[in-house]
Amino acid sequence: MRKNFLCLMLLFVTLVSACATSPTGRRQLMLVSEQQAITASREAYLETMAPLKKDGKLNTDPRLNQRVEKITGRLVAQAVKMRPDSANWEWSVGVIDDPEMVNAWCMAGGRMAIYTGLISKVDPTDDELAQVMGHEIAHALANHTAEKMSVAMATQMGVLAVGVSSDRPALAMSTAAVAATLAIGLPNSRTAETEADQIGIELAARAGYDPTAAASLWQKMAAVGGSRTPEFLSTHPAPENRMQRLNELAPKMMAYYQAPGERPIYPLHEALSAGAP
């Protein structure tokens, strides 16, 4: 019992001391540094994209690629203004040719992808497409990759801390999972999504895209797929009050959207060459 208690106390001290603050002021668990998350994401990105390129699964339609790159470049320009240190990231976006996949993502370090299935099935306007990519960029700006990696690590630490002194492995694992969750006060996926919604709609508005499109985008997302949930909704849960919240945010973003002046386009890396050896 004493050994078990000491292990849990060590776990608790480690978790409490490994906190950071997100761009919205939310406390985050950070056992993994952002740079570690960027390095891990770099490897994952290359492992994901290289086979797709080899198999001819990266979109070659110049009009679609240009559309996605222009919208994303305008968003990234605002992201870099919001977080100047992200100018050092290898921002890139690839369009993956998969007509059935309704999804998009942005890894730590600014490597992004969107699937042709989202374009064809959702049929977003430019304003709505900007909301998709702005939301994904927001996940990177808010360091959600490192946060999720840290949560996974914390759970593993809890299993180890309790398991080393237990002769009942199944019970030890269950107890550790509960202990880790209580210790870190883990924000659920809805919290992270709310944060990405808030940051993403502002990025899009600052980039010159209508903030009212955020709610219409999610209406379209909800209508896609019939009985089969699109991948985007399985990884980006949409609570019933999401559109209401976005409709409430939209008027607050109008000043950014209506501000005069040209919106700069940030120069993006080529999709597969970003971070390549």
Active site residues: 136
Single-letter residue type at 13 = V
- Cα–Cα distance measured from residue 21 to residue 44, given in angstroms and rounded to the nearest whole number: 25
- Cα–Cα distance measured from residue 122 to residue 238, given in angstroms and rounded to the nearest whole number: 16
Residue appearing with tokens 């222009």 = 70
- Cα–Cα distance measured from residue 125 to residue 180, given in angstroms and rounded to the nearest whole number: 43
Token pair for residue 134?
Answer: 């702005």
CA atoms within 13 A on the CB side of 109: 20
